[in-house]
Amino acid sequence: MASDTDPYIFSTDVLPEDLRFLPPLANGRLGWRVYHSIMHMGGVYNGEGGQCHRADVPCPLAVRVQSKEPFLDSYDLDTHTGVFTRTLTSDLVTVSQSLYAHRYHCNLMVMEVLLVRHKASQEPVTVDLDSAFTPQSKDIDFEAGPDYKVGRYIHGQTTTAEFTGGPCPSVHLIWTPVPPSLTLLPEQSKCRWGFIVAAADTSESAQASFDEALDLMATGDLRKSHEQAWEELWLQSKVEVSGSDSLCRALIGCMFYLLSAFPSIHDTSSTFGGVSPGGLSNGGDGQDYWGHVFWDQDIWMYPAVALFYPKLARAVLEYRVRTIDGAKDNAQKQGYKGLKFPWESAVSGREVCPEDIYGQQEIHINGDVSLAFQHYLYLTEDMSMFTEGCGSEVIWGVADYWVSRATWKEGDKRYHLLGVMPPDEYYYDIDDSVYTNAVAKFSLQFAVELASLLDFPAPDQWKEVGENLHIPFDEEFQYHPEFDGYKKGDTVKQADAVMLGYPLGLPMSAEVRRNDLEAYESVTDPLGPAMTWGMFAIGWLELGEPERAQVLLEKCFKNIQGPFQVWSESSDGSGAVNFLTGMGGFLQAVVFGFTGFRVLKDCLAFSPILPDGIGALCVRGVNYLGRQLDWLLRKDDVCIIMREQTSDTGMVQPCDLQVVMKKSGEKIPLVAGEPVTLPLEPGYICKVTSTSFCWPL
């Protein structure tokens, strides 16, 4: 998938005028937009309830290199390595300023400055370092501590807890001070300087991270260990296309920024604070949804990551498990049983949405969370997540909530969910949102299934409500109205009813699927959030109309701002920045749309299709039942290679797998290292011992 220009390097000679679209650097623990004076730490919020937001942490690396000499400027974000570099070139010297959030040691941010002389000279070369850093924050009461080795030190706590009586997070910051200038002496041909920031929740952790950085810097391994961690991530998975450079770069950018929002695959600290729509680099007071975690994480970002990285998928689920107490409190305050996950979540799981109506009515979040757990089980068969990992408490708590929230009506002998807000937030206080009811139905059915697997006595009401929950359907027009009382043709904000087909997988005929797509595509707000068109594209790909899907995917490119592939929520550049939700939807359109991947109970189904103009799609590292599969889709065939097993098999024992073709029923065992070439037809991957018949309906 190579081209003359490396698609993994985003380059420009001029920075975007809108500084919001400078590249964010993050590692799941720390997040920062380059040159900005503020960074954020995962799980560190300030403010109570609806005022809760990511706490501003001052960033000592908010430094710009300046020189009185004329220089040529260039900027590169190398997504191979997660390093942003500004290069200044003159006749005499090249100056490189490199910045990165350490991918392995997640408490570290690093700046390196390299001066390289082009020709011998008796004159020193000096560059100025213009810093915007001040060791203060409006959210954290910092006080200075004694210097630690070669570093400065401040520490403090946020001013206001997330809820009354709750803890105020602590922040400890140690950094190597940045001088006002750097000088390359006459006798030096080159010189490199390194500057470190260690941020943690205790002084001991900050000191240990700072010590580790100093040791690695002394051996020349600080940057190397960071780049090796990124290399390990990219070796596990890649999504690339040939035939469209812009699409290839967009996919790479989406994968890079999404992976940046997740912790290291080696992280065992259980400090991951979830993924917010704008990622860790954004989310301060009044900005980018305050850094809260929404359904965006579970429905939009999670699926593509879970397909490749089961450890990162589990980190998302463990975040939800840690918020169980808050979810229980939310349900009790609403007068219901079980768990009510917050529409907007921070650390505790208590509702922190600034406007009550969303937390009260946008209850589909419960089903969205449950669906993420369900897909994880189907992809991994990792039962430990549901036993000692307490995932079963999530699933059963959600089921209890639905049962207590549903209302029985004798007239149609169905259960109903009344007074809700659908994903389409243009409407509220409506009855029987079709998406909400469908996702509730599936989470109740999954609760019964999981209870059977764990020999847990499931209440009869779980099955009763799940089987009899009303799913709105218009018999005359043969489509799913968005809710009871929806008038066909009314404007909608975003993807809603079209998500019944994917990701929910509600059984329906091709005619109904088409009718749903056509009913909503023309009335969806063109300035709605970026993830919407990916769902429509997947629908048209399901129906075998790739060119129609391609038109919708091309709409997404309007949300990609500037040279660094940073997304905005809306196509006019407004809304949340570094909009990971949109990136997740776009990735799913390709990874699940072009391949036809569907994560089902007993198999991974596929139904590949490529639009004109796309020569090939390479999807490497699909992780299914402990095996990694590399896929190459071409116009006429599909090639699958199961990788040789490594010593680290992950959390489950790998299974022997086979391909089963739908049309012929042919079964082809997968042997590690041996490619299998198939016609461009539907099929599925399953265990060799599986006797189930597994198809998306």
Say which amino acid occupies 335.
G
Mean pLDDT of 124-141: 97
Using one digit for the tens of pLDDT, what is the confidence trace for 100-120?
999 999 999 999 999 999 988
Its pTM stands at: 0.96
* pLDDT class of 5 with cuts at 50, 70, 90: confident
Comparison of pLDDT for 653 and 233, the residue scoring more: 233
Q: pLDDT (tens digit, 9 = 90+) per residue, 532-563?
A: 999 999 999 999 999 999 999 999 999 999 89
Q: Which of 282, 320, 281, 280 lies closest to 298 in space, CA to CA?
A: 320
Average pLDDT of 64-81?
95
- Which pair of tokens denotes residue 262? 């997740």
Which of the residue ranges 31-40, 312-321, 525-534 would you say has the lowest mean pLDDT? 525-534
What does the pLDDT look like over 254-275, one tens digit per residue? 999 999 999 999 988 888 999 9
Task: Quote the pLDDT of residue 164.
Answer: 97
pLDDT at 1: 40
425 in catalytic set: yes
pLDDT digits (tens, 9 = 90+) for 563-576: 999 999 999 999 99
Q: Among residues of the chain, what percentage have pLDDT more than 70? A: 98
Structure tokens at 93: 């010297």
Predicted confidence at residue 2, as pLDDT, reads 38
Which of 48, 232, 381, 425 is catalytic? The answer is 425
User: Burial level of 9, CB count in 10 A (0-12/13-18/19+)?
Assistant: middle
DSSP, res 655: P
Question: Which of 358, 360, 222, 278 shows the shortest CA–CA distance to 20?
Answer: 278
Residue 152: which residues within 8 A CB-CB, separation 6 or more?
60, 135, 144, 174, 175, 176, 177
Mean pLDDT of the chain: 96
Looking at 381-509, list the stretches that DSSP marks H as alpha helix, in order from N- to C-terminal side.
391-405, 434-453, 460-467
Dump pLDDT digits (tens) for 597-615. Answer: 999 999 999 999 999 999 9
Q: How far is CA 163 from the centre of its chain?
A: 27
